[in-house]
Structure formats: structure tokens, C-alpha cells
Structure 1
Amino acid sequence: MSKITTIIDIGSNSMRMVVLEKSSRFAFSLINETKSKVKISEGCYENGGNLQEVPMQRAYEALKSFLNISNALKSRKILCVATSALRDAPNSKIFLNRVKKDLDLNIKIINGEKEAYFGGVATSNLLPDDNFVTVDIGGGSTEFCFVKDGKIKKSISLDVGTVRLKELYFNKNNLDGAKKYILDSLKKVYDLNEEIPSKVVGIGGSIRFLSKLIMQKNCYPLDAIHGFTYSVKKEEKLFVDILKTKTVEDLERLGVKKDRFDTIKEGTFIFKTILDELDTKTVVTSGVGVREGVYLTDLLRNSNHKFPENFNVSVRSLLDRFQIDAKQSAYVGTNASKIFDVLKPIHNLDEKYKTLLVVASKLHSIGTTLNFYKSNDNAFEFILNGLSYDFFHSSRVIVAYILKFSKKSLPRQRDLEEYEELLPSLDTMQWLSFMIALNLAVNIDFSRPKVKYVLLNNTLHLELPNKSFLVESYIEKLELPQKLFLEIL
């Protein structure tokens, strides 16, 4: 696979592009994301599904700009797919042939089931959940992909989309007809005979924007859409309020942006109808979709479109990009596990915290790479946004705080206030802070010593292989959690 790859997704409402750079066998990072609301399907559902000349010209001009960006970034591979609008349009070849002739770009029209599958590949690899159904609302269609135990079971696409319903029902003020149309279409989902999960992973611009409104309303502390989770019952009122609006001013008062005025009510109507009908309890917002699914299907073509077990693409990508010494990284990761395990009888923390402690230990030197001074603060700010894939928001914040308080002093309650709703108890954070500080202190001279840890009567005995004044002085300055004593042998 090329080191830099461009993926373009031509949807009914928006055209999106991502440019991804591969850093090792399975790791990659996003280096560009561009969106253009070309509305290529505008007017087509009122004209026998045929693409209209003005929207086609908008899409053509946007594609030229996308290719300019791709070329400037030295992308060596371009994968371009088109979904509902082009697969439904009887005259789509006019657009396809023009793009091929003028821009030398091959557009692959994918069927609805494949579109749903790509969404499933992206979310099952880049979100930390294993059991859910994706709902991807686009301009012309809505896709569902059932994921169980991390594996894709079945995929389906319905001809239910924001632009389609706007032209066929909303413009005629026929909301009852729109609801009946959606519910009739949903019967095909039940025909799959798949157990309907209580958790929906939402994909697409309308769903992401609804999540942004919820975050804004609740003063949510973390500015990250991917992985944001909310209770359907708790946030139902916002959906109802959007559907009650009569004017643009009403939408503005709810925080809706200008570029969402045209389809936010249709998107909300579709999503609420689906959530109600499927009796969904929880929504997890996905920042990835068809584009990432296309990329991962290519990247993971020899491994059933799935990352290896226990592989985390965000962590691996950061280790690659910051050229963190592999031996040092492996050492601090292994040593973090040893410290966690030996102290388990006192801290009694869940095993998930060991994983986060290991991740924080491996990524600790990123702060120094950014700037040696205030390295812990640098790491904190960077990790809040840098761990973009395969982490719950709470996990991302915990790792950032472990790094922020990885020196001598333990965090206090006031230090946790800003992100309190995403953090565990102060006691838990103090234990994690101490364990990473101890981990880094024993390796302060980068010698990777083979330390023996023994816990006896709430006293942690450290047996160092060689006497080191520097190491011992750092360890002796550490602030200890309550109930713990420390002795260097």
C-alpha cells in the first residue's frame, strides 16, 4: 500500500476527502480532511433520479480542488467511491465519463450493502466497542451494519436519506408520509433476523452535528466528537425541540449552524424515528465512516479487514511519528505492568487501568519531544486530541492526566475538576500517578534496570541491580499514596 493515500467519498449531499499517511505496517495518521457540500443529488429525486447539470458541475469543480490537495501532499494512491446519488441516477455515466476524461480519475460506484460494510469496518477497528449496529444517515440512503464480538455480521442499505425525504415529503409538509416511509423501510432490517443491539454507532454529518449540539448544551469538557457517547432518553428533548422549529431563527437559538439549516430537521427526524423503533438506549458518535472503511479494507486486505488483537492504531502511530525508542518504550510498558500487579492487593484497581498505565508510560516522552520544558503539560494537551482512535473519551482523559501528574507530586481534587465527569475517583488517579512516577524514576538514567518489586505489609521493597544516587534520589522524592510505604534495598 502506498505511504500516502487519498480517499474520496462522493455522497448525495457532501463530498469528503481524507489523506492518510502510513507510518508502519498497520499504523497511519490523518494529514488532511476536506469536505464540500456539493449536493450532487439536488433536484434528482423530483426528476426520476437523474443528476442535474448545476449540481454535477459543483461536484466536478470540487473534485478538481480535491485532486490539487492530494497532489500537493504527494499522494501516490487515490481511491474514489460514490454512493446513493450516483448508483441511483440513470444518467450517472455522464458525470463518470467526464471525470475520467478530464481529471483522469476513476470513480467506483459501490452498492448499499458495500457502503454499510465499509462503515462497519471503520467503526469495528477504530472504536473500542464490540457489539453495536451502525446507522449511517446520508443524503440519499441510510446504512446499517451489525457488529457482534467485533465481527461484522450483516449489512443493509435503505433508500432513506435527508435529501431524498426533503424532496419527496418535507417540501410537501407530509411528515406522516415520511414516517410511514421510514418505518416501512425498516422492516428490511428486521428481515435480517439479527438481534438488535441497544447501542447504535452513529455515522454521517447529521448525526455528528446532533452530538455537537448535545456536547454544547451539556458543556461537555472534551472537544472531540469521535467516541462521544450519550443516553437517548436523556437527550431526547433536543431532538424534539429541533423538530418543533418553524424558522431559521428557531434553529439558530438551538445552536444550529447555517450550513446545517437545509437538512438538520430531516436528519433529526430520520434518526429519532430509527432510535425509537429500534428501542436504542445509547448512541456512540463515530468520526469515521465510509472513507476510513475503504482505506482499512485496502490496508487490512490480508487480515480479514481487522487489526491484530491488542493492536491500537493511535498508540502505534504516535510511537512511529515521534520516533520513540522501541527498547525504552517496551521497557517502561513492561515495568508499568509489574508495578501495577505487585501493588494490586493495595490499590484494587480494575485491570483496564493497567492498560491505560502502560499506554501512558509508553507515550511519556512525547511531551519532551514537543518541548523539554513543561513536558508533562505538553503531553497532557497533546494526548487529549492525539489518541483519536480506539479509545473511550474517559480513557483518553485518564491517560492525559496520568502523564500530567507523572512526576513527584500526586494530583489533588482541584486538579481534576475540569474533566471530573470523565475521570475516576481521586484515589484511583493518585495511584496511577504514583505508579507512572515510580516507573519513570527507576529508569531516569535510561539504563532499563531489572528491578525486583516485593510487597510486604503495605511496604513496597525495591531491589535495584546497581546502586545509583540519581535513581535513588528521584525515588525518595516521590509522594506516596495513603497506606503505602517504600523501601529501597
Structure 2
Amino acid sequence: MYSNKVGLIDIGSNTIRMVIYGIDSHFEIHEITNLKVAARLSQYLINDDHEQIVMADQGIQKLTETLASFNYAARAHEIEELIVFATAAIRQSANQETIIQRVLDETGIEIRILSEKEEASLGQYAISHSLPNRNMVTIDLGGGSCEITLSENKEIKHYHSFPFGVVSLKEKFFAGKEHNDAVAIEKTRRYLQKAFKSLSWLKKIEYPIVAVGGSARNIAQVHQRLQRYPIAGLHGYRLSEINLETTLDLFQTTNYQDMQDIDGLSSDRTDIIIPANLALIELYQVVDAPTLYISRQGLREGIITYYLNDHFDQPIDPEHIHVRSVAKLCRDFKVHPKVAEVRSKIAIDLYKQLTDLSQLNYSYAQQVELEMASYLYKCGQFISQEADSQTTFYLLSNMDLAGFSHRDRVRLALLSSYRNKSLLYQYCQPFVDWFSENDMKELQSLGGILKFSQALNDSKTSPIKKVKLEKKKKDYLLTLYHHGPVVAEQYRAERHSKHIARSLNGSLKLKYVDLDA
């Protein structure tokens, strides 16, 4: 199944995690296993007799025990390569050479310590290959460090690594205090604000923020549960400053013993979630950001994506991530490529002719959206022919699709599952604030094009070779040029022509021209 299996061990300040990836023949990355230990290595950083920061022996022992366990699992999975890297906790340790040598002696594992620049660049590499945003500020909030980058056109322009993270902030301001101590919170706010404002290129840049890291994801997860978010997935989830204030207020007003009862909050982050929430809010204000996105793609994903592009001639292009996502879905859902190609050709042809006749407003983005939906149209039938529309909508709206915002993902699901107006509005009930009435009319018109295009290849023999839509006084004529019999197509087309007629300011007649006659 996999042409290659690669293991990554990420030695962070808060957690140590091993992910084993399988790479298939299409250069798609599949997560095989994901193991995590909340080691909190940064709490083992102490000052030695020379006032240098070193990792205490207990921390090194915790590290070697964890890596030995992970190494056993990696061998069991028969991986081809194991990449082991460390960030702030070991990078900040004056005894890092001792740590590396001891790990090598006791486990046989060689650790690579990433520089601040490498850490920022690899995190940005993952984001640029998974989100559509071109200009952004990213924050990777770890346990012992905080990487900030400014990117324009998906290229890093500035970066900075602060020597603080959620664990070190907790130890600096909340040691011996309640998790929601008001004085500690205010001191943390001022400290973070001063740190972020020290970066002149960050102030009032007004770019969206993309947040990476377990704590940021956890905050988003809590917010999703609070508002009963109607779809699954954290990647690309948006948070406003008010949303972040809402989660902060929840954490502040909840007794520590009750924190574990907060739906969505991980039990190993209850004592560090407030510093994380404060960091996002303060960055939001310094940047004057329009919104904040959550990315599930971070340092590990950046490393495996870079590994893939470096070893296999650049198969992942950041300019075409959404196309790659759709192509993968077509393979996973066993979409017939020739049938999808015919449907897509007809749909795009009809769309362009409708826009030429000023019945729809043309945009290239909309054409691309229609093309992707035409390939995925009723793709849920591989699970259920009877419930193909419902299954298609559920699958597409609840999958993390690289290159799509959550709203665009739902639009794709609505178009790909389109059957009729009533079902469209039924699917949209949980998304009343997402789409205007004009959006709904647009979706209905585009969905109608897809449904009619599907009807024109009902026999799956590709008989329709050309479609021509013309204005005839007050009415419209759609001529369908075909080879061979079109009995099935004619039956379906007559039934579903109303879906095209709705987009016209007049009635529609169909005409069939046999090219073999």
C-alpha cells in the first residue's frame, strides 16, 4: 500500500510526539500512528553553578525513556527512515551535547536540533502547502518558545523566535498561584504585549493570523463545542477576537477542579490554556488582525512535506493544494474518471454560455469551484446509491480539505450533493449565518447545472458531444449535438431541464441533433 514509511519524532518543550507516515504511489501522506507523551521538558531546565540554563538529569532520563519506547514502535512498523528533531527545550540547554550523546548511547537515536530559523521556516512551509492564504502572520506557540513569522505571497519576509512558551509563561507568572489569578493574568498580558510590539514589522500589519500548536487547537476545539459547530475539523477554523475573549472568560471563571469538565479541553493543558489564550489575544491586537485561523499543519507536517518534495521531485505544489485535495477524494471515493471528465466538460460549457448570455455572473473562482464539484458530484454513491446526496454532503462537509476554508468546503459539499432546492435548503439549516439569499440562489443555479450535466450522460457512453445555448426572442433554445442513441439522456434531460430554465429570464426548449444522420 505504501511505497515508503517515514517516522518523525518531535521533541518539543511540552510534548514529545512520534508520527509514522506512509507515502503512497500518488505521493499522498497518510498518518499511520501518532504517539504522544506530555513530557514537559522545559520544566527540567535549571540554572547550573555557572548560571547557565541546563537540562536536569531527570529531564534527560524522561527523554531517553520516551525515545526508547518510540524507537521500539518505529522498528515494529518497519519504517525506512526515522527523523528525530528537537526545538526550544534542548536548543536552550547549555548541556545539549551531553543530552544528544546520552540519547545516542542509550537508544541509538541521533537528535537534530533545529535552529530558530529552521523551525519557523518549516512551520510556514506546512501552512503554505495546506491553507489558501497568501499573506499572513503565523504563531507557533510551543511549550518553551514562540515562533512568529510574517509571510507575503506564501514567502517568509520576517521571523522571530521568542524564548517563552505556554509552559514557561505559566512558570514565570502563575507559579504558586491559581490558574486564573487576576494579577498573574494582567502581568502576562503586559509581558506578551511588550514582546509582540518589539517587532516593528508586526504592528498594525492587518494580516490574518494563523495559529499552530496543540494549545491553539485546544482553544478552537473548546469554542467549537461552545457554539455547537455544525461540521467537523479544526484546520482552517476561524476565531475572532471576541471568540478568544469568550474562551478566556470561560477559563477564568471556571474553578481549577472543574476545568477538566470543559468540553473539548485536554486534561494535560488545563494549567497552561490561559497563557496560550492570552498570547493569541495580545498578538491579535498588535497585528490588528481581521481574523485568526487554526492550522493543524505545523512543524512535523512541514518536515514530512519538505521530505516528500525533496525526495520525489516536488509533487506537492502550494499553488494547487485544493486541486490535489479533490484528486485524492476522487481516488478515495472511486470516482469514474471518464464519467467525471464528461460531466465537468458539459457543466463548464453550460456555465460559460449562461454567463455569455448574462444569465449568471462569471468569475474564474466560481468556474474552478464548479469544475471541482462536477468531479465530486454524488461521490457518496460509493457508500450508498440510495442516499448518494446525503452521504456526499456529510462526507465533504466534515473532512479536512487542504486548500479550502470551512465555508468553501461547505459550498463544495452543497454543490456536489445537489438534488433540488428543498434539499439544498435542508442541508443549509445549520449554516443560516454562512450564506445570504443571493448565495443560495447562486448555489441553486450552479447545482442545477451539475444535475443537468449529469443527466446528459445517463448511459455513461458520452453521447453528447456539444451543447449550444441560444436566445430566441423571449425564449431560449438548447441544442444537444450527439452521436448514437440518446434515449436515456433525452428522458433525463427533459425531466431536469427545469434546473437550467431557472437561471433564464425565459422558457427553455431542447433540440437534439444527431451528428451521424
Q: What TM-score, normalized to structure 1?
A: 0.88
The letter for the 1-side match of 2:480 is E
Unaligned runs of 5+ in 2: 178-182, 513-517
- What corresponds to 1:18 in structure 2? 19
Partner secondary structure for residue 317 of structure 2: coil
Summarize the alignment of residues 427-446 of structure 1 with structure 2, pairs less than 5 Å apart: 427-446=441-460
Partner secondary structure for residue 45 of structure 2: coil
- Asked if the contact 1:202/1:286 (under 8 Å) is kept, the reply is yes
Output the CA distance in 1 between the equivalents of 2:389 and 2:74.
35
Shift of 1:138: 0.6
Give yes or no for the alignment of 1:186 onto 2:196.
yes
Summarize the alignment of residues 271-310 of structure 1 with structure 2, pairs less than 5 Å apart: 271-301=280-310, 307=317, 309-310=319-320
- Asked if the contact 1:243/1:269 (under 8 Å) is kept, the reply is no
- What corresponds to 2:180 in structure 1? none
Change (3 A) 1:444 1:110: same
The letter for the 2-side match of 1:203 is V
- What corresponds to 2:488 in structure 1? 470
Unaligned runs of 5+ in 1: none
- Asked if the contact 1:19/1:32 (under 8 Å) is kept, the reply is yes
Summarize the alignment of residues 414-425 of structure 1 with structure 2, pairs less than 5 Å apart: 414-423=426-435, 425=439
Change (3 A) 1:75 1:414: same
- What corresponds to 1:163 in structure 2? 167
- What corresponds to 2:326 in structure 1? 315
Q: Percent identity?
A: 23
Give yes or no for the alignment of 1:362 onto 2:390.
no
Give yes or no for the alignment of 1:236 onto 2:248.
no
Output the CA distance in 2 between the equivalents of 1:438 and 1:147.
43
Shift of 1:234: 5.0
- Asked if the contact 1:4/1:75 (under 8 Å) is kept, the reply is yes
- What corresponds to 2:123 in structure 1? 119
The letter for the 1-side match of 2:454 is L
Output the CA distance in 1 between the equivalents of 2:416 and 2:321.
21
- What corresponds to 1:214 in structure 2? 223
Partner secondary structure for residue 426 of structure 2: helix
Give yes or no for the alignment of 1:334 onto 2:345.
yes
Output the CA distance in 2 between the equivalents of 1:73 and 1:377.
37
The letter for the 2-side match of 1:119 is G
Give yes or no for the alignment of 1:487 onto 2:510.
yes
Give yes or no for the alignment of 1:153 onto 2:157.
yes
Shift of 1:167: 1.9
Q: Which of 200-209 and 276-285 deviates more?
A: 276-285
Partner secondary structure for residue 127 of structure 1: coil
Partner secondary structure for residue 129 of structure 2: helix
Partner secondary structure for residue 470 of structure 1: helix
Partner secondary structure for residue 171 of structure 1: coil
Output the CA distance in 2 between the equivalents of 1:355 and 1:63.
46
- What corresponds to 1:258 in structure 2? 267
The letter for the 1-side match of 2:380 is G
CA offsets, 1:274-318, max 9 Å, x none? 222332331011111001111122223488897163343322322
Change (3 A) 1:123 1:168: same
CA offsets, 1:28-81, max 9 Å, x none? 344443333221222315665322344444443443444455445443232222
Output the CA distance in 1 between the equivalents of 2:85 and 2:276.
22
Output the CA distance in 2 between the equivalents of 1:336 and 1:222.
28
Output the CA distance in 2 between the equivalents of 1:323 and 1:413.
28
Change (3 A) 1:376 1:167: same
- Asked if the contact 1:143/1:155 (under 8 Å) is kept, the reply is yes
How many residues of Structure 1 are paired with residues of Structure 2 in the alignment? 487
The letter for the 1-side match of 2:148 is F
- Asked if the contact 1:11/1:83 (under 8 Å) is kept, the reply is yes
Partner secondary structure for residue 53 of structure 2: coil
The letter for the 2-side match of 1:317 is K
Change (3 A) 1:299 1:254: closer
The letter for the 1-side match of 2:459 is D
- What corresponds to 1:63 in structure 2? 67
- Asked if the contact 2:211/2:295 (under 8 Å) is kept, the reply is yes
Change (3 A) 1:73 1:281: same
Output the CA distance in 1 between the equivalents of 2:231 and 2:29.
23
Shift of 1:152: 2.3
Change (3 A) 1:64 1:456: farther
Change (3 A) 1:386 1:253: closer
- What corresponds to 2:515 in structure 1? none
Q: Which of 227-236 and 367-376 deviates more?
A: 367-376
Shift of 1:211: 1.2
- Asked if the contact 1:410/1:430 (under 8 Å) is kept, the reply is no
Query: Which structure has more RCO (C-alpha within 8 Å, separation ≥ 6)?
Result: 1
Change (3 A) 1:363 1:171: same
Q: Which of 320-329 and 372-381 deviates more?
A: 320-329
Output the CA distance in 1 between the equivalents of 2:433 and 2:70.
40
CA offsets, 1:77-113, max 9 Å, x none? 3222211001111233344334334443332110112
The letter for the 1-side match of 2:239 is Y
- What corresponds to 1:44 in structure 2? 45
Shift of 1:361: 1.8
Partner secondary structure for residue 42 of structure 1: helix
Partner secondary structure for residue 358 of structure 1: helix
Output the CA distance in 1 between the equivalents of 2:301 and 2:267.
27
Q: What TM-score, normalized to structure 2?
A: 0.84
Partner secondary structure for residue 196 of structure 2: helix
- What corresponds to 1:404 in structure 2? 417
